[in-house]
A and B are shown apart, each in its own frame.
Chain A
């Protein structure tokens, strides 16, 4: 997993609530057996018409947002299915950070596993960032994960919270499985205990 320390980039605003995982990556893209290449399917049914023609009005087709790395979204972003294709598609497009008033649990968790930082902020703070996003390339945002701060172009700083374990994994690019395997003796002990206490399990 790619480390996440600081990120300076263009923010794109998607002004919708309850953006579900079917919207982020429709089912026709789920038939892949790879993690990469899903960026073209990102928001496909919002971005393209039935014939595959790009909608020029969609934010990610307008400059400079074709190069956006930060997505500012509405409440309950990522609701619906557990498909990790959703963060894979966002990552493949170039997004490394999603900022929203709230996220669906499974999507939120999946982001961290892929080097994407999801940030929860109150709507009034997000409204300021939406103004920055509207200024495009003139208003890049900087996300400093170590300091847990977002800096706007005009010098304002916004603090955000993040779970300390997940923060460490992102900053160091840690592999969860490797970390858990270091606790193998705890898992062995648990299995031995359970074999007696709950043999049916």
Chain B
């Protein structure tokens, strides 16, 4: 009998083009997503070497990082951003790549666009010069971020040179309590394993709580695999996956879909397959989570308090906590629900999808944003924006005092005009609370969309479980 294999093993085996005796492997890449920040030097490299894009039809380009989220019909004011966006448009045209520009309704954050267009399919290998490419693992695709040199390598050869990673299983058993979300699951996992816990591994997420998640929720979980150190996260495809992708523009149609589905249904980890590491969490015990520091592993329950550094035994971690608290303007020991906020950011490739916006609308309908803060909602794509508007969500948001913006990465990383001023404190549905991430000296607390929405109304963090 064949040796039992993990889902990762199966996708790896199916994409192996060549393996050297030392284990260095050439892996075929089925799908390549390209954005404007990490690609210009790669296209320049191709030009200098006189190389072509090997498979332009397997490549999709979209602008997301630099675009303003206000009216962009008159162009982009920042000259450097405008140059980078123009460079992508030219590169896409010169090399024959499909490109969604900033006024195309299909434009959006690359990791929202891929699944939305059916570009992301189970069992495929997907790369992008962006660490949150792990998002696509929600479909049972082996997806990870790469650097610009590798972007050039994939453009030229449609392959990557890789060493196989180890297998890690994260199982989340049981049912999530009401108001506890996919975001809380992944923040809890990162709090448990640390930001280097998944280094060298591909994480497979399994268990009842993961199966119960919608595709949007699964994307939120896989998205932040990289914050746990893993280049890729995977969830085995199931009927929810097939229902999500069926009928999308780039999904196979009719009989071809059925043939593909029969193949995709074999994409699961065999009984008895070996994992190098296993982590098990009980969903029923998970609270809504808030990050207090400047690393995504620095998290605590909304019902808890900011830790006191003197309670941290490990000296290196204690020093890091002291630095983080100083940066965050916290002393240690504060109740999380006593922390007042200046800004709310709802959006990003982690939580900028329609389900996230519906959840926010449910919390804020008929209420009003606290007068002491500014709150912004940035849909993940033009299609998410249109759908939200069809459902009347935009009316709920604007009536409640939220700014309703154009799609893009926005204040997740603040490459466009959306950024925190020094010292401003923000509840953000994004993925990184690093120093300076949302603006120099800006202070980021990572939370779920529901928690960000509730904080927007109250002006400080509230335990969403207490809200009527």
Interface residues of A (CB under 8 A from B): 16-18, 20, 22-23, 26-28, 30-35, 45, 50, 74-76, 79-84, 87, 102-106, 109-110, 113-114, 163-165, 176-177, 179-181, 183-184, 186-187, 190-191, 194, 198-201
Report A-chain residues with C-beta under 8 Å of the C-beta of B440: 26, 45, 50
- Whether the Cβ atoms of B83 and A183 lie closer than 8 Å is no
The answer, yes or no, to whether B407 is at the interface (CB within 8 Å) is no
The answer, yes or no, to whether B28 is at the interface (CB within 8 Å) is yes
Could you tell me the distance between the alpha carbons of A200 and B44 in the complex, rounded to whole angstroms?
31
- Whether the Cβ atoms of B124 and A201 lie closer than 8 Å is yes
Report B-chain residues with C-beta under 8 Å of the C-beta of A194: 28
Partner of A31, one of B49, B80, B252, B317: B80
- Whether the Cβ atoms of B83 and A31 lie closer than 8 Å is yes
Interface positions, chain B 18-68, Cβ under 8 Å from A, are 18, 20, 22, 24, 26, 28, 30, 37-38, 40-41, 44, 49, 51, 54, 65-66
Tell me the smallest distance from the CB of B182 to a CB of chain A, in Å: 21
Q: Which chain B residue lies CB-closest to A32?
A: B80
Count of A-B contacts with CB under 8 A?
Answer: 179
Query: Assuming the A-B contacts A75-B316, A105-B231, are A22 and B163 also in contact, with contact meaning beta carbons closer than 8 angstroms in the complex?
Result: no
- Whether the Cβ atoms of A33 and B415 lie closer than 8 Å is no
Report B-chain residues with C-beta under 8 Å of the C-beta of A20: 295, 432, 434-435
Interface positions, chain B 113-164, Cβ under 8 Å from A, are 121, 123-124, 129-131, 133, 144-150, 152-153, 156-159, 161, 163
Could you jot down 9 A-B contacts, CB within 8 Å?
A18-B295, A31-B66, A31-B83, A33-B84, A34-B41, A81-B413, A82-B133, A177-B153, A180-B159
Partner of B436, one of A26, A83, A87, A114: A26
- Whether the Cβ atoms of B149 and A79 lie closer than 8 Å is no
Tell me the smallest distance from the CB of B346 to a CB of chain A, in Å: 20
The answer, yes or no, to whether B279 is at the interface (CB within 8 Å) is no
- Whether the Cβ atoms of B159 and A74 lie closer than 8 Å is no
- Whether the Cβ atoms of A113 and B22 lie closer than 8 Å is no
Report A-chain residues with C-beta under 8 Å of the C-beta of B156: 177, 180-181
- Whether the Cβ atoms of A186 and B18 lie closer than 8 Å is yes
Report B-chain residues with C-beta under 8 Å of the C-beta of A110: 147, 149-150
Could you tell me the distance between the alpha carbons of A180 and B154 in the complex, rounded to whole angstroms?
10
The answer, yes or no, to whether B17 is at the interface (CB within 8 Å) is yes
Report A-chain residues with C-beta under 8 Å of the C-beta of B259: 199-200
Could you tell me the distance between the alpha carbons of A75 and B51 in the complex, rounded to whole angstroms?
38
Total number of B residues with any Cβ neighbor in A under 8 Å: 75
Q: Which chain A residue lies CB-closest to B17?
A: A190
Could you tell me the distance between the alpha carbons of A76 and B435 in the complex, rounded to whole angstroms?
16
The answer, yes or no, to whether B167 is at the interface (CB within 8 Å) is no
**Which 5 A-B residue pairs are closest in the complex by CB-CB distance?**
A113-B149, A31-B80, A82-B145, A33-B40, A84-B147
Tell me the smallest distance from the CB of B79 to a CB of chain A, in Å: 9
Query: Assuming the A-B contacts A79-B229, A180-B157, A181-B157, are A33 and B41 also in contact, with contact meaning beta carbons closer than 8 angstroms in the complex?
Result: yes
Partner of B147, one of A22, A82, A184, A200: A82
Interface positions, chain B 302-348, Cβ under 8 Å from A, are 316-317, 320, 323
- Whether the Cβ atoms of B129 and A76 lie closer than 8 Å is no
CB 8 Å contact bits of B407-424 with A (1 = contact, 0 = none): 000000111000000100
- Whether the Cβ atoms of B41 and A190 lie closer than 8 Å is no
**Interface 9-residue window, one of B2-10, B100-108, B192-200:** B192-200
Tell me the smallest distance from the CB of B198 to a CB of chain A, in Å: 9
Q: Which chain B residue lies CB-closest to A183?
A: B18
The answer, yes or no, to whether B437 is at the interface (CB within 8 Å) is yes
Q: Which chain B residue lies CB-closest to A179?
A: B161
Report A-chain residues with C-beta under 8 Å of the C-beta of B18: 183, 186
Q: Which chain A residue lies CB-closest to B260?
A: A200
Could you tell me the distance between the alpha carbons of A163 and B199 in the complex, rounded to whole angstroms?
16
- Whether the Cβ atoms of A113 and B24 lie closer than 8 Å is no
- Whether the Cβ atoms of A106 and B131 lie closer than 8 Å is yes
Tell me the smallest distance from the CB of A60 to a CB of chain B, in Å: 17
